[in-house]
Amino acid sequence: MEFTDFGNKLSSHSGILQLMDDIAKPLPRGIKAKPLGGGNPARVGEVEKAYRRELEKLLADGDSFENVIAHYDSPQGRVGFLRTVAEFFSSNYGWNITEDNVALTNGSQSAMFYLFNLFSGKANGRTKTILFPLMPEYIGYADQGIEEGTFCSVPSKCEYFEDHTFKYKLDTEGVSEYLSKHPEVGAMAVSRPTNPSGNVLTDSEIGKLAELAHSYSIPLIVDNAYGLPFPDIIFTEDAAPIWNEDIVLSMSLSKIGLPSIRTGIVIARKEIIKAVGNINAIAALATGSFGPVLADNLLGSGELTRLAKDVVRPFYKAKADRMEELIRKYFDGTDYYLHKIEGSIFCWIYLPSLSVSTLEFYAELMKDGVVTVPGEYFFFGSDEQKEGKPYPHEHYDKCLRLNYSGDDALIEEGVRIIAERYRQFSV
Ligand SMILES: Cc1ncc(COP(=O)(O)O)c(C=O)c1O
């Protein structure tokens, strides 16, 4: 038996596989997990109650439940929900969209897989690429290109502050220059908020990227899995929801309570939406109905965005503040920098004095049951090496991503151990 190149590429080890495996894998006997690794969001009671109420209404309404479970939705997604999404965004944000501009997918992870492969790979005798203009970027993208070598990136710039914090900045000139020299770029993509760093690209940075996308006639894919207006895990002021015909906006219901139900929402120009629906038919027949059924009334009535703003954002803001306090307390006296926590459910810590790579440090922490995600996986899309390392960014093997949405006591214990081990593994 022999796998194809496609088979080998998609079935080989990847960072995202390791991360998802770590979520479920039991640790050696007697070691309690301190889960700061994967991307599991928290349980938020008020949000759960809202979905429960929707489900109870469905169950009490004649044979509505049976009608939901007994039929496939269309490949583009549940039609009523596509309309609700279009109406919601056109009436609240003035976006000129109809249901033909909206498609659903089984989770936004699948949406990104479809989109990346729509715009990268062989086309008219050329190999097209996806440009990630702000590296480090989401580990879950790194292996999604079906063809080898189709992802490229521009390393982010970095600003350091005296209070042990730092912030990634878009290298606008670097991105412009890359685009001018590489006509094969088929699309640009960013996550906003950025997973892993918790950076939130400002309106002006997004505006610049959208202008560049427009002038090169390529789409700008904005992954809004943590963004506005839901789940609204954004703590900065200069970020507003944005869509226009140059932007492909990917959204998700995962971080607003429904990660297990797998609902991604794509808003884009009609040709792209048609393509996404057609890929769904081939890859999945249809999308799951439950996310749309549970979220339809909540979105249409404004309750979903109210929950996002009044419940989900404050919940994660409190967690983020607490995480920052813990890091300051336990890392005090060490050489560390914390990326400003502007959004998402992660913090990203730079440990310049680490004497080993973060892949090695991660393995060391695992022995104590502390699950983290090593930074190396978030740097991809470059052939350039720096000081013998596979990615030309000084942070390449010196950062850890920590999920701060879990149990407070376990997080504290995890941070304490990470700081203790950092002291042992410092040059
Ligand atoms: C930036 C980003 N995009 C997309 C996803 C995929 O989410 P889902 O497939 O659950 O919608 C995640 C999950 O953690 C993420 O962090």
Of residues 92, 389, 135, 377, the one with CA closest to residue 229: 92
**Ligand 1 atom closest to residue 263's alpha carbon, by position in its atom list:** 11
Mutate which of 195, 342, 346 for ligand 1 pocket (most atoms within 8 A of beta carbon):
195
**Ligand 1 atom closest to residue 107's alpha carbon, by position in its atom list:** 9
C-alpha span between 427 and 425 (Å, rounded): 7
What pLDDT is recorded for position 42? 96
Give yes or no on whether 5-43+307-424 and 53-301 have one common fold: no
Would you say the CB of residue 107 lies under 6 angstroms from ligand 1? yes
The rounded radius of gyration (Å) of the Cα atoms in the chain is 21
C-alpha span between 267 and 248 (Å, rounded): 6
Of residues 165, 114, 171, the one with CA closest to residue 144: 114
Tokens read off for 240:
């507003």
Q: What is the second-level CATH architecture of the domain 53-301?
A: 3-Layer(aba) Sandwich (3.40)
264 within 8 A of 276, measured Cβ to Cβ: no
Amino acid at 86: A
What pLDDT is recorded for position 12? 83
Distance from the alpha carbon of residue 53 to the mean position of ligand 1, in angstroms: 26
What pLDDT is recorded for position 10? 87
Mutate which of 108, 190, 230 for ligand 1 pocket (most atoms within 8 A of beta carbon):
108
| Tens digit of each residue's pLDDT (9 = 90 or more) over 134-148 | 999 999 999 999 999
320 within 8 A of 404, measured Cβ to Cβ: yes
Domain 5-43+307-424's class? Answer: alpha beta
Residue ranges for the chain with pLDDT beneath 50: none
**Ligand 1 atom closest to residue 344's alpha carbon, by position in its atom list:** 16
> Largest alpha-carbon pair distance within the chain?
68
C-alpha span between 420 and 89 (Å, rounded): 48
What pLDDT is recorded for position 330? 98
Would you say the CB of residue 39 lies under 6 angstroms from ligand 1? yes
Q: Is the pTM of this model over 0.95?
A: yes
**Segment (H or E) for 70:** none
C-alpha span between 190 and 112 (Å, rounded): 11
Tokens read off for 116:
């990346």
- Domain positions in the chain: 5-43+307-424, 53-301
Would you say the CB of residue 259 lies under 6 angstroms from ligand 1? yes
Would you say the CB of residue 288 lies under 6 angstroms from ligand 1? no
